[in-house]
Amino acid sequence: MLHQYLPNKPHKWGYKLLVLCDDRGFANDFEIYSEMENNPDLRLPNEPDLGAWFNWRQSGRKLLPFYGVKGNRDEDVRRSVIALLSNKMKIPDITEHLSSCHRLGIKRESAHPIIVRFSDLQLRSKAWKTKTSLRGTEITITEFLTKPCQEIFVAAHNHFSMKKCWAADGVIVILLPHKYLKKVTTLSALK
């Protein structure tokens, strides 16, 4: 059922959208809520049913935004991403594991990020872990964080510096003295 009754909205009948945005405000993915998010036929065999919002949010874990990838007006974004992942990041046999690749923004501007959706979460994790191979280039990869997690990351960055804090699978990690790693899940844990 696409048309929803929304009692808290000025227009009581409409469409509910689930929108995934990055920390810069780009809408990277969206889905029209259809009550199909809990349909077991649409989930992977080993994925549990954790509710519509969480099921949709979990699908966002397979996304990675790539910033700084040069392109042109007539580019084949998928081919550019495959070349980047296989040549620079040394991830072989990637072609069949990319669900979608698209550049945000209008066609004439090639500086916009490319959003890549992996069909395999393990391959997405491998791409995330091998992002260090992009050092010295203009290309960066970021991770999508929830709003509370983003607030923790910004506070940790301001307190500890960028080189001593990072996100890993949605959790903020801080490098403390004596090479001790601390996972932080609340703002109060930073103090």
Tell me the mean pLDDT in the region 79-94. Answer: 88
Stated pTM of the model: 0.62
Q: Which CATH number fits domain 63-141: 3.40.50.2300, 1.10.357.10, 3.30.70.1820, 3.30.200.20?
A: 3.30.70.1820
Task: Tell me the two tokens of residue 78.
Answer: 């998928």
Nearest partner of 56 among 27, 86, 83, 29, judged by Cα: 29
* Model pLDDT for residues 142-173, shown as the tens digit of each residue: 877 777 888 888 888 888 887 888 887 778 88
* Model pLDDT for residues 50-62, shown as the tens digit of each residue: 555 455 555 567 7
Give residue limits of the domains in the chain. Answer: 3-60, 63-141, 147-190
CB 32 within 8 A of CB 152: no
Check pLDDT > 50 for residue 1.
Answer: no
Nearest partner of 25 among 185, 150, 167, judged by Cα: 150
